Amino acid sequence: MNGAIIIRNVFLLAFTTFACGFLLDNQNVGGQTTGNQQYLTVSEFYHVKTDLQDGLVDLRHDTDNKLVLLSSQLQQMFNSFKQEIADNNSRSDDLENKYRDLLQSHTVLKHDFDALKNKYTELTAKVAVLVHSENTTLALQGEIADLKNLKSIHQLQDLTALQSRVNTISAQTHSLAVNEQA
């Protein structure tokens, strides 16, 4: 690139030695040449060319600065995104660990629930047997009370029968005693 600039400058230097200026407007009005033709001198040309080149250099410099600034901002954004991704991965790992813990706790609680359900079923069966046994016991106690009442009645009947025998024997003894005295 620098070689092309050098060749161009050499060419311009060689050309300017043959000409002292440039014709800017070459139009003839009505076939007549105008007396006020404008020419650009080589120094003016170089001055404008230098100003344009300086403007281009400034523009390139500003563009480069803006690109550097944008690049640094993009780099900061990428770094920020990387940090957020790392933070999100960390949070994701934490949530995954919590999920595993909850799943394990759920499994333990389900096992405990099933064990308690089985114990409840066993206890319900035992309670049913105990209730049946208690009902049977109450029925038997009622029957025993009835038997005791019957036994008491039977004993009273026996007692009454014995008393009536004793009275009969007493009456017979009394009549035998009266017959003996007479």
pLDDT tens track for 43-94: 888 888 899 999 999 999 999 999 999 999 999 999 999 999 998 888 888 8
User: Is the residue at 30 inside a domain?
Assistant: no
Residue 178's pLDDT band, with cuts at 50, 70 and 90, is confident
Average pLDDT on 166-177 reads: 85
User: Is the residue at 57 inside a domain?
Assistant: yes
Cα torsion 155, 156, 158, 163 to 10°: value is: 140
What are the φ and ψ backbone dihedral angles of 175, each rounded to 5 degrees? -70, -35
Question: Domain range spanning residue 159?
Answer: 2-24+36-136+151-174
User: Is the residue at 116 inside a domain?
Assistant: yes
Taking the model in full, what pTM does it have? Answer: 0.41
Residue-level pLDDT at 45: 86
User: Is the residue at 181 inside a domain?
Assistant: no
User: Is the residue at 145 inside a domain?
Assistant: no
User: Is the residue at 144 inside a domain?
Assistant: no
Q: Provide the token pair at 66.
A: 């803006």
User: Is it the case that residue 8 has pLDDT exceeding 80?
Assistant: no
Q: Provide the token pair at 150.
A: 């019957």
Number of domains in the chain: 1
Residue 29's pLDDT band, with cuts at 50, 70 and 90, is very low
User: Is the residue at 182 inside a domain?
Assistant: no
User: Is the residue at 180 inside a domain?
Assistant: no
DSSP, collapsed to helix, strand or coil, labels residue 67 as helix
Which distant-in-sequence residues (6+ apart) come within 8 Å of 26 by Cβ?
A: 37
